[in-house]
């Protein structure tokens, strides 16, 4: 597990070497706008764990404590190999989460090294989709799915490391400024959430589509687009990826990234089905063949001119012959 771009976020409340309850913090491994994660050692047993606690700037923010408590409440009822297992949590007066340790690197760091081969990108997407579908079946929407919250381990096994923005269906929504700013800042947030809506599992479908797009291109779907453009339109694949990637794969990704939820996949399972059966999809017409047809037009026009030049004497001869017979 590696540190994920820590410099851009506030420093943590504690530093490596500090003791938090029964755990000694060893090194920082991840940092988000609201929390920081450490590799830590349980003093009694010696086992390695991950401890996540509020960033220094948010230590007194009750909304951050509420997010951690909500995540702990959700994790206690879950058991899936694609999710980190909750081991312990801190007291109300000092909130933190203790979770299983998973050796790996963040998907963000993996993508930073360059675009992934399509087959590997598809395989990773399917593995990320499994815990997502598990959560959706239990009425839980992640709402903050992005490569920084996905660890890739040996043999491309994966773990979702955070679901701190997750919400159960029908649960009261937390609407404090820091969370709103976080949602507006992420490139993986669905348009309906950017517009102030609650979102549902189709919002996670959008985020997963954005992650797959980024794995295939090493670029975000909307690098230069304004917020208004993101809400109103779907992205396109840049060259040379547009020419190199199978049309069916592009079709699946762009359907997941439709700005209107009703035009997306209705569920993560539907997206998984199409990714596993790309050869059964009807490929949309590509732009390249149409351009090739336009290039053939001058040749066709020249051939017709030659044909007309050859047929014209024959036509004149037939007209003269007909005229002589009538005379």
As beta bridge partners, residue 151 has 106, 159
SS3 readout for 163-192:
CCCCEECCCCCCCCHHHHHHHHHCCCCCHH
pLDDT recorded at residue 182: 47
Long-range CB pairs of 73-81, under 8 A, 24+ apart, other chains included: 74/140, 74/163, 74/166, 74/168, 75/99, 75/163, 77/138, 78/134, 78/135, 78/138, 80/130, 80/131, 80/134, 81/131, 81/157
- Retrieve residue 170's tokens: 């029908």
**What does the pLDDT profile of the chain (327 residues) look like in tens digits?**
544 444 343 445 578 899 999 999 999 988 777 788 999 999 999 999 999 988 766 666 788 888 888 889 889 989 999 999 999 999 877 889 999 999 999 999 999 999 999 999 999 999 999 999 999 999 999 888 999 889 999 999 999 988 766 665 555 444 433 444 444 457 898 988 887 777 899 999 999 999 999 999 999 998 766 777 778 888 889 888 888 999 999 999 999 999 999 999 999 999 999 999 999 998 665 433 333 333 334 444 555 555 555 555 655 555 555 555 655
Using an 8 Å Cβ cutoff, are 216 and 115 in contact? yes
What is the distance between the alpha carbons of residues 321 and 316, in angstroms, rounded to a whole number?
Answer: 9
pLDDT recorded at residue 177: 39
Annotation: CATH topology of 6-100: Phosphorylase Kinase; domain 1 (3.30.200)
pLDDT recorded at residue 68: 86
pLDDT recorded at residue 180: 44
pLDDT recorded at residue 119: 97
pLDDT recorded at residue 97: 94
Contacts of 208 (CB under 8 A, 6+ apart): 125, 128, 129, 132, 145, 256, 268, 271
φ/ψ of residue 39, rounded to 5 = -75, 135
Contacts of 305 (CB under 8 A, 6+ apart): none
- Retrieve residue 76's tokens: 């206690």
As beta bridge partners, residue 20 has 23
Using an 8 Å Cβ cutoff, are 78 and 29 in contact? no
pLDDT recorded at residue 111: 96
Tokens 């209107």, residue? 260
As beta bridge partners, residue 97 has 52, 89
Which CATH number applies to 105-280? 1.10.510.10
Quote the pTM value. 0.77
């Amino acid at each position: 597990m590696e540190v994920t771009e820590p410099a851009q976020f506030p420093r943590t409340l504690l530093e490596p070497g500090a003791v938090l309850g029964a755990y000694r913090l060893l090194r920082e491994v991840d940092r988000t706008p609201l929390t920081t994660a450490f590799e830590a050692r349980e003093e009694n047993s010696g086992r390695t764990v991950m401890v996540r606690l509020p960033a220094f700037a948010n230590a007194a923010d009750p909304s951050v404590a509420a997010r951690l408590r909500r995540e702990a409440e959700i994790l206690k009822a879950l058991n899936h190999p694609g999710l980190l297992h909750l081991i312990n949590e801190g007291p109300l007066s000092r909130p933190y989460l203790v979770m299983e340790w998973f050796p790996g690197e963040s998907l963000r760091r993996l993508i930073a090294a360059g675009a992934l081969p399509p087959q590997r990108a598809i395989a990773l997407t399917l593995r990320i989709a499994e815990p997502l579908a598990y959560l959706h079946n239990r009425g839980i929407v992640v709402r903050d799915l992005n490569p920084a919250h996905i660890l890739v381990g040996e043999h491309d096994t994966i773990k979702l490391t955070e679901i701190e923005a997750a919400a159960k269906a029908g649960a009261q929504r937390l609407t404090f400024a820091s969370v709103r700013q976080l949602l507006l800042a992420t490139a993986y947030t669905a348009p309906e959430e950017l517009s102030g809506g609650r979102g549902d599992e189709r919002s996670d479908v959008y985020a997963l589509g954005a992650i797959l797009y980024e794995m295939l291109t090493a670029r975000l779907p909307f690098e230069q687009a304004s917020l208004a453009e993101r809400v109103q339109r779907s992205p396109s694949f840049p060259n040379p990826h547009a020419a190199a990637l199978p049309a069916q794969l592009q079709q699946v990704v762009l359907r997941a990234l439709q700005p209107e939820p009703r035009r997306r996949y209705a569920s993560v399972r539907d997206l998984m089905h199409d990714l596993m059966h790309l050869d059964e999809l009807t490929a949309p017409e590509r732009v390249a063949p149409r351009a090739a047809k336009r290039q053939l037009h001058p040749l066709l026009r020249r051939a017709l001119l030659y044909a007309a030049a050859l047929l014209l004497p024959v036509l004149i001869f037939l007209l003269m012959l007909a005229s002589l017979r009538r005379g």
